[in-house]
């Protein structure tokens, strides 16, 4: 018996995709995520990911969420820093960009 997937609101669907992209970024690095890999991680169609984000917008969204949640692991991998890096060591230009988008 197939259980129908619950329909999510647009915002909830976008958030789910961002979270999946963040999980993927922890494994492969933020610059290495692709639309298809994020879609697979989120259990969504690649077209759904593209409906909401370009890959650049998705990478930015992952970094913004990492800053909002003070998640040094996602932020560090997104910037290519060792995993033990802290948000405080993020380049000021990235922090300014994130604050501007928030």
Comparing 44 with 6, which gets the higher pLDDT?
A: 44
Per-residue pLDDT reduced to its tens digit, 26-82: 888 888 899 999 999 999 999 999 999 999 999 888 888 887 777 665 555 555 544
Residue 3 lies in a domain: no
Q: How far apart are CA 87 and CA 58, in angstroms?
A: 19
Q: Which residues contact 1 (CB under 8 A, 6 or more apart)?
A: none
pTM of the model: 0.66
Residue 2 lies in a domain: no
Comparing 98 with 50, which gets the higher pLDDT?
A: 50
Task: Using the structure block, give the residue that is written with the tokens 């610059």.
Answer: 31
Residue 5 lies in a domain: no
What pLDDT sits at residue 69? 77
What pLDDT sits at residue 34? 94
Residue 47 lies in a domain: yes
What pLDDT sits at residue 5? 55
Task: Using the structure block, give the residue that is written with the tokens 């995993």.
Answer: 83
Q: How far apart are CA 91 and CA 39, in angstroms?
A: 29
> Binning pLDDT at 50, 70 and 90, where does residue 93 land?
confident
Query: Structural domain tally of the chain?
Result: 1
Q: How far apart are CA 38 and CA 56, in angstroms?
A: 13
Residue 4 lies in a domain: no
What pLDDT sits at residue 97? 66
Comparing 10 with 99, which gets the higher pLDDT?
A: 10
In the numeric block, which tokens belong to residue 61? 């969204």
Residue-range definition of the domain harbouring residue 32:
10-101
Residue 50 lies in a domain: yes
Residue 81 lies in a domain: yes
Sequential DSSP letters for 16-72: HHHHHHHHHHHHH-GGG--HHHHHHHHTS-HHHHHHH--HHHHHHHHHHHHHHTT-H
């Amino acid at each position: 018996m197939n259980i129908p997937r619950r329909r999510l609101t647009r915002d909830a669907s976008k958030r789910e995709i961002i979270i999946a992209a963040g999980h993927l970024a922890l494994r492969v690095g933020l610059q290495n995520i692709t639309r298809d890999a994020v879609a697979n991680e989120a259990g969504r169609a690649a077209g759904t990911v593209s409906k909401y984000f370009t890959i650049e917008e998705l990478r930015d969204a992952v970094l913004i969420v990492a800053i909002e949640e003070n998640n040094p692991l996602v932020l560090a991998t997104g910037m290519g820093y060792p995993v033990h890096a802290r948000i405080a060591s993020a380049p000021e230009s990235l922090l300014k960009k994130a604050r501007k988008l928030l």
